[in-house]
Every structure is written in structure tokens, then in C-alpha cells.
A and B are shown apart, each in its own frame.
Chain A
């Protein structure tokens, strides 16, 4: 067990390191001169040279990588070219927004998918099952940005139940949650459609097994058998997909935050790319990657919590 933890943690750290190398390399191989971007086309050659020297662009690639990664470890991602403030400040300001949205999306995805998936499996080859399969097919096929616009048109413009966009901040939790409802649905619906299907097939697989018959023979109600015996045993594939979906939800915030005017990292990365704000983009890509790698690391640990047989092998 200790060895398993050590191996997984080492893998986690090495993956992050590899990601940082790739991110840095890609950003610095890209054509374009940051100094030129900052100062504009009218800048004099002397000014450009001075700025390049100040930004450290003349240093060898390797030493630039190490100073970037070293500073990043202390929370210093440099100064944003376009906002003229430290990138870490930009991130600190916007991270709660994006995390709120991603976590809300994840909760929505998991709850909806488990109810739909288990419900479909319990009604295998009946109307409920067909209904879930049809709706989830629809959910997978609909693009998130288009769904977002439909949701805004219906619930914000026509019915006026919910705000069409923007985020008031968590100082007013009710208003914050109301503002998050439509983005959460738009973000999570595709993922929950996928997850509902995974849940359904995984549950059907488990329901064929002997211990489910034992549970029924012990006089437990169908609901209890489903939620206490089928679902836990169906969790390993579900958790695998959930881990990958968290990554998709975090990156999905880029589109959703732009549609709903939410001041989060997704909007920031979009603006930074448009502004060729290299330090900000580099920090954000690294951050998104780190969130994804962390999610997968947690999933790896969850397997062992779910299945005691894996602990024995781990």
C-alpha cells in the first residue's frame, strides 16, 4: 500500500514535470516576438532590444525554463503583458469562478447520470431504458454553445426566471447560485449523457452477477439492491470516466464562460490568447493541465478506496 502511494505520487510529480516541459517548449517555439507585441509595430529597435533583455528573452532556453518553473513553484508566473499585473493575481481573482463552475458541473453531471443510468438499468428493455438512451443520445449530440444559447433564450429572455449571464460573486450566495444554474446545465449535460450510458452498461453488467441474486434472496427491496449493491460495484468504470470528464468540464469552461460572460479562467485564457499575452497563456495552460493531472491522480487513489481487492494487489 505504501509502495502504491509512493509510485502513484512519483508518477503524478513526473507527469506534471513533463507537462511543464511541453507547455514551455510549445509556447517558446511559437513564432512571434513578445517584445514586438508589447511595444507595438512602431517601437524602435533599441526599445525592443532593451525589453527583450529585460524579459530575459536573450537567455538560453534552458535557463529560461528553469527560472520559469522555479518562479512558478513559488507562485510567481510573471507579469501579464496585456493586463500589466502579476499573472498570479489574475489567476487568484478568477480561479474561484472557474472552480465553482467546474465543481457545480461535476456534481450536476454525476447526480443526473447516476439517477438516469441506474434507472435505465433497473428498467432494462422497458420504456424508461429506451427514454434514457434516446435522451442521452440527444444530449451527446447537442453542442454546448448552442445549448447555452437555447437555455438563455428560454429561461432568461422568455421566461425571465434566471439571469442571462454575468456573475455577482459569492458575497450573495443565492444570486451566485442562480447565476450558475444555466452555465452548469450547459456545461454538464453532454458529460452527464455520456456518464449515464457508462453507468447503465456498468450497472447491467453487475446486475447479472450472483451476489445481486443473493441480495434479492435476502429480501432487500429493489431500490436497496440497486443503490447499495449494484451501484458500488459499478463504480470503477464510472469513476474512470468521471476523472476524464472533470478535465473536459474544466476545459469546457472556456466556451461556457465566454457565452455567459463569467469572469473566470476560461474567459481569461481566451482573452490572453487574443492579446498574445504569453506569460498568462503559459501559466493558464500549465494550470489547466495540473488540474487534469490532479483529477486523474485522485481517481487512481479512489479505485483503492472503492475496491478492497485492488488494495490487496496495490
Chain B
């Protein structure tokens, strides 16, 4: 079990993550959505013990009851791959170009699990089959540049699964892939999570992928988890104005309505841009861009409200519809 309580990450005066609290249990499928710079990747790196050296961490992170505050790099090395594994956004760049993909996947099996070369090879073949790589025998001997993007992402998933982790973090696993390949990878991750009772932390800015992959969702903005709860409930009736903005900015398959002059309406956007880490408002991070902002929003951090069962939002004016 992974437990974050009020975890903050600072870079000097700048805040990358503010008092994030989360609990991840075996088999959980948690989505994290937010724009670039919202702190979602930082949260993931903290769970891997891979926050940049320049970062200062505060708050607590416990893994199976163990406080990781004084964990050394060596302690983390023992957890990575075996307890928590991660796949990254760019499958094209995330594999060692000089290493056959079979060797890449066999390395942790031999080093961490102490398998013999034959046993590691057999295990790698099983893993390749499990993640849906056709003709695994031949693939083992290939180099990354000989595989497609989707195949490489499957290799990376196989690598992440190698030591049977309790938690798989997928940081934008589908962003660099074609839409139909992305769907299949998303479904693969869901299936693996269910079959192995492995927790999945699915990080994405693609709301449709998150809706498909996860049972719970955390929406991040400016280093805050601004809203969280069951995925369906949050997406059906978002409580936080930022979540509403994200949902409103989603393109849909149906054409947007035309106005009186017959001009097609434009896709709504959230006005303004995400401020830099050092320029975020002290109170609600969304102040300045929020359509329902109150005067106190910029200076006063909102308390946590409970818009529904298992739900929370940090907002002075959470949607009445969601609260009802």
C-alpha cells in the first residue's frame, strides 16, 4: 500500500506539488489528469524515489507502512521494479538503442530475481506474450529501432511487469501513440491491473483514456490535487471549476452549434495559461483563470469540501450541481 500525506515538493521558492494526499491500494486504478506542469509527473517521480536532486520534499510517503523520509538511494533501488514500476511517455526514446529488447527485459529478471539466462529468457517470452507482442521469439532479438511505437510501449510494459510490481505508474503511456494503438495499450493496462491485482496509476491529459482506464480520478492543477473521487462521478458532475473547464474543452464527435450568422462556434478553452511554478497564486491555484472566482480565492486556500460520497474538492465555490 502506498500512502501520501501532505506531500509537498519545492524547488527553492517555487512549488511543484502542494500537500498532496493519496492512498493507493492493491488493484486500485487511479487516474491523474492535469495540464503539463500541474505536478502529476512530479507526484509519480516521488513514488519512485526519483524526484530531481534539486527538489526539497516535505510531508510523508509510506510504502507498506514504512516511512520513506530517510530512505537512501539504495533503499529505493530495492523497491523499484519489484514494488513500483513506471512506464514513460516516449516509447521511442525510453529503450536503450544499443540493447536488444530481449536483453533489456531479461536484465532485471537476472539481476533482481537472480534467474538463470534460460529462465530469464523463458520469463521474458511469457511477458512478451502477456503484453500482446506477436512472435515473441523473434522480437527478443530485435533492437528498439526495428519495432513500431506501439510495440516498443508493449516492451516497456513487459519490462515494468518483469519483477511483478504492486504498483505500475503509467506516465502519459499513450500520448505518443496513434489513437487506435493508444486504445489497445490502455485496455492492456486495465487488463493487466485486474489480472495481477496490481495497482495502476494512470497519468494522462486525455480524459477519454482516463475514463476508460480508471475507477478513481485525481485532477491536478498548479501542484494541487484540486478534485478527486470516483472517475464516473467526477466526470459526470465535476465540482471544481477547473475540472469543468477541462471537460468543456474536450472536442466531441458531434459538430459544434452554429451561431446566427451561420458561423461554427469555437471549442471552449480555459482562458489564460498555467502560471509558472514560482508565480502561482497563494490561495487557490486556479485563481486568475477561474470563471466563478471570489475576491478571497487568490489569497485564501480553500478548505476541502465533500461534494459526494468518496469525493473531495478544494474550492470556495464548488458546483452546486455536484454538491446536490
Task: Offer 10 A-B interface pairs, CB within 8 angstroms, sorted by A.
Answer: A209-B93, A214-B159, A217-B48, A217-B50, A217-B86, A218-B81, A224-B111, A233-B98, A307-B97, A309-B143
Determine the distance from Cα of A166 to Cα of B90 in the docked complex, in whole angstroms.
59
Determine the distance from Cα of A218 to Cα of B155 in the docked complex, in whole angstroms.
13
Contact of A214 with B156 at beta-carbon distance under 8 Å, contacts A233-B96, A309-B145 already known: yes
B218 at the interface (CB under 8 A from A): no
B195 at the interface (CB under 8 A from A): no
- A210 and B94 within 8 A (CB): yes
Determine the distance from Cα of A233 to Cα of B104 in the docked complex, in whole angstroms.
14
A220 at the interface (CB under 8 A from B): yes
Chain A, residues 204-235, CB within 8 Å of chain B (1/0): the string is: 00000111011111111110100001001100
* Residue with the highest number of chain B CB atoms closer than 10 Å, among A211, A218, A224, A233: A218
B249 at the interface (CB under 8 A from A): no
Determine the distance from Cα of A218 to Cα of B106 in the docked complex, in whole angstroms.
11
B217 → chain A, closest Cβ, in Å? 24
B80 at the interface (CB under 8 A from A): yes
Question: Across the interface, which residues of A come within 8 angstroms of B73, CB to CB?
Answer: 222
Chain B, residues 91-131, CB within 8 Å of chain A (1/0): the string is: 00111111000000001100110000000000000000000
- A214 and B95 within 8 A (CB): yes
A306 at the interface (CB under 8 A from B): yes
Determine the distance from Cα of A308 to Cα of B100 in the docked complex, in whole angstroms.
9
Contact of A219 with B81 at beta-carbon distance under 8 Å, contacts A210-B88, A308-B145 already known: yes
A18 at the interface (CB under 8 A from B): no
Chain A interface, number of residues (Cβ within 8 angstroms): 22
- A220 and B77 within 8 A (CB): yes
Question: Across the interface, which residues of A come within 8 angstroms of B85, CB to CB?
Answer: 217-218
Q: Using a CB-CB cutoff of 8 Å, which residues 144-199 of chain B contact chain A?
A: 145-146, 156, 159-160, 162-163
Determine the distance from Cα of A217 to Cα of B107 in the docked complex, in whole angstroms.
13
Determine the distance from Cα of A232 to Cα of B103 in the docked complex, in whole angstroms.
15
B316 at the interface (CB under 8 A from A): no
B168 → chain A, closest Cβ, in Å? 11
B102 → chain A, closest Cβ, in Å? 13
B149 → chain A, closest Cβ, in Å? 13
Residue from the list A215, A216, A221, A308 in contact with B98, Cβ < 8 A = A308
Determine the distance from Cα of A218 to Cα of B94 in the docked complex, in whole angstroms.
12
- A218 and B143 within 8 A (CB): no
- A213 and B88 within 8 A (CB): yes
A312 at the interface (CB under 8 A from B): yes
Question: Across the interface, which residues of A come within 8 angstroms of B97, CB to CB?
Answer: 211, 233, 307-309
Q: From B112, which residue of chain A is reached at the shortest CB distance? A: A219
Question: Across the interface, which residues of B come within 8 angstroms of A209, CB to CB?
Answer: 93
Chain B, residues 46-79, CB within 8 Å of chain A (1/0): the string is: 0010100000000000000000000001100111
Question: Across the interface, which residues of B come within 8 angstroms of A221, CB to CB?
Answer: 74, 77
Q: From A215, which residue of chain B is reached at the shortest CB distance? A: B96
Chain A, residues 192-214, CB within 8 Å of chain B (1/0): the string is: 00000000000000000111011
B301 at the interface (CB under 8 A from A): no
B82 at the interface (CB under 8 A from A): yes
Determine the distance from Cα of A51 to Cα of B162 in the docked complex, in whole angstroms.
81
Determine the distance from Cα of A306 to Cα of B160 in the docked complex, in whole angstroms.
26
Q: From A236, which residue of chain B is reached at the shortest CB distance? A: B98
Determine the distance from Cα of A7 to Cα of B78 in the docked complex, in whole angstroms.
49
Contact of A307 with B90 at beta-carbon distance under 8 Å, contacts A218-B108, A219-B112 already known: no
Question: Across the interface, which residues of A come within 8 angstroms of B162, CB to CB?
Answer: 218
Residue from the list A210, A218, A308 in contact with B159, Cβ < 8 A = A218
